[in-house]
Chain A
């Protein structure tokens, strides 16, 4: 105790920073900072264009930095950041998906501002301030810097080498998402309700994470995942701290992926948030959170898995079954996609529970496949409108296949991918996680997974039947012609869904080559 205190007076040694390894995060955070300055100093008329430009350039530059960082792998910043194969693969995935999300967010249908977002988030819904802001042509261009800050947190999340860094990343990615959820331009109260629910439950789960991290610190004397892993082999008589600590940290992480029983926020938030933000959350947050769970479970506490893996098995089974069964009862397309995302989180957990390198690569492939499909699906949802607002009730989608064959066809194709039909990325991804599970002693999980897929497939097919074989209820529902932005997001998403279904080998190879964690 005394010796360690006197250690504080010794020479200061600056931490070695491998700038090449952390460059992607620096670029994204830098772009976010520039976005804030644009918001502060640029005149209102040029803000929208400048923000979209800064965000897209930043994301593309960060993606190139990720490619360059392949040569800079290693642990840096005193072990706080670990840039290894999985970290780089997931960072690249997050950045690629973020480009599509930003394209969808920037959609404005030739109007004044970004269409999905309110004119002034701070004004109460229906208040004179709000109508004044609409008249003045205000638009919440802050969404772009907020998104960039969230992306920066997401990049750090799967690369965090200790629990404290992981917590900071969790907060950095969550706080902007709480705000973004509350900025929908229509149905403002629903959106604000979603924001508040997400914030309260998110803060609650963060507390669980911190409590778990404190217990693991008590167990091993360190927040570092590597030190915790070493302690599991050598530390004795402290098991009362280890297992509760692991489970509490997992609660915090499973909340972010929306696993049952920590899923209750998902449908409400996915429904209330602006649709492009929902797509962003469903795709990118899941990628980042699964990356963090993979690192925590595989690098940190994997050696003690016999003590807590049964709990994770139960969560995986519950997630698949509850997600699939409850999606049957949904009448709102955004809620339906939310429950579908819960079921998909369960499928991914199945691959994770293989506890093998194949498990890592299958999880990474799955989140890529699911991410591209889900962003495109939510982008399509934002196009189908009744009057000014989105027609999210399923009955309004009846007959869409006849009136708008291209949009309905793309959506039907994405639904088939969610169902896991061959020649879509969904099939390859499900095959990867289930075969990983079967190959490494988790066959019961794969059986439940296949059954849950069958239930979920019924839901997706029902929506397709509704679009193609049901008379349309009225003429008021129509597809707003999208600009190049949403068209690009949907086209790329659909194309990736097809490509990863037909020729998945290159990405599967990349995933399995980069599936090795640096310990």
Chain B
């Protein structure tokens, strides 16, 4: 019987290897065709300009959407194992999960009613 941690180490090595090979390998085999957009700083979603509009302030609405996404992301993180084990969990877990979803929807209702979902 090998040490139970050996597979874990193997997985870690695979992960590190994948990252190193992808990053280093790309610089060897990838084509190098530069244009203006390529040298911009990459910020997903926000138009990069030397000086953002409004005196360097970034609009808060993008982060609002991102936070809302994370809330539902975390909800699904809990929902998935719950769904897999549902047959063993019984009524108690169902009630708990409904309560959990309810609290998330309270936050969602607040964002929706206060105009957090309107882009402009």
Contact = CB atoms under 8 A, between A and B. Distances in A.
Interface of A: 1-2, 11-12, 14, 33, 36-37, 39-41, 122, 124
Interface stretch (B13-21, B27-35, B66-74, B87-95): B87-95
Interface in B82-120: 85, 88-90, 92-93, 103, 106-107, 109-110, 112-114
18 contacts: A1-B5, A12-B88, A14-B92, A14-B93, A33-B103, A33-B106, A36-B106, A36-B107, A37-B106, A37-B109, A39-B110, A39-B114, A40-B106, A40-B109, A40-B110, A40-B112, A41-B113, A122-B60
Contacts of B4: 1-2
Nearest to B64: A122
Given A40-B113, A41-B113, A12 B107 contact: no
B38 interface: no
A124 B55 CA distance: 11
A12 B109 contact: no
Nearest to A41: B113
Contacts of A12: 85, 88-90, 93
Nearest to A33: B106
Contacts of B88: 11-12
B57 interface: yes
Contacts of A2: 4
What 3 pairs between A and B have smallest CB-CB spacing?
A: A40-B113, A1-B4, A40-B110
Contacts of A41: 109, 113
Contacts of B110: 36-37, 39-40
Interface of B: 4-5, 57, 60, 85, 88-90, 92-93, 103, 106-107, 109-110, 112-114
Contacts of A14: 90, 92-93
B4 to A, nearest CB: 4
A240 to B, nearest CB: 22
Question: Which of A33, A40, A122 counts the most B-chain CB atoms under 10 A from its CB?
Answer: A40
A14 B88 CA distance: 11
A124 B60 CA distance: 11
A37 B89 CA distance: 31
B119 to A, nearest CB: 15
A40 B114 contact: yes
Contacts of A36: 106-107, 109-110
A12 B103 CA distance: 24
Contacts of B57: 124
Nearest to B60: A122
B71 to A, nearest CB: 13
Given A12-B90, A122-B60, 4 more contacts: A14-B92, A37-B106, A37-B109, A124-B57
Nearest to A14: B92
Nearest to B87: A12
Question: Which of A1, A2, A14, A122 counts the most B-chain CB atoms under 10 A from its CB?
Answer: A14
A146 B113 CA distance: 18
Contacts of A11: 88
A14 B95 CA distance: 12
B18 to A, nearest CB: 25
A179 to B, nearest CB: 13
A2 B106 CA distance: 41
A122 B115 CA distance: 13
A11 B90 CA distance: 11
A514 to B, nearest CB: 31
A40 B107 CA distance: 9
A14 B91 CA distance: 10
A380 B70 CA distance: 42
A509 B4 CA distance: 56
A41 B109 CA distance: 9
Nearest to A37: B106
A1 B2 CA distance: 12
B22 to A, nearest CB: 30
Nearest to A145: B110
A405 B92 CA distance: 61
A193 to B, nearest CB: 16
A299 B93 CA distance: 31
A195 to B, nearest CB: 15
A34 B102 CA distance: 12
Contacts of B107: 36
A61 to B, nearest CB: 19
A11 B85 CA distance: 10
Nearest to A11: B88
Contacts of B109: 36-37, 40-41
B47 to A, nearest CB: 20
Contacts of A39: 110, 114
Nearest to B55: A124
B94 to A, nearest CB: 11
B96 to A, nearest CB: 9
A338 to B, nearest CB: 30
A26 to B, nearest CB: 10
A129 B93 CA distance: 46
Contacts of B93: 12, 14
Nearest to B1: A2
A205 B91 CA distance: 40
B61 to A, nearest CB: 10
Nearest to B96: A14
Contacts of A124: 57
A220 B88 CA distance: 31
A24 B107 CA distance: 22
A39 B85 CA distance: 36
Nearest to A1: B4
Nearest to B107: A36
A335 to B, nearest CB: 29
Contacts of A122: 60
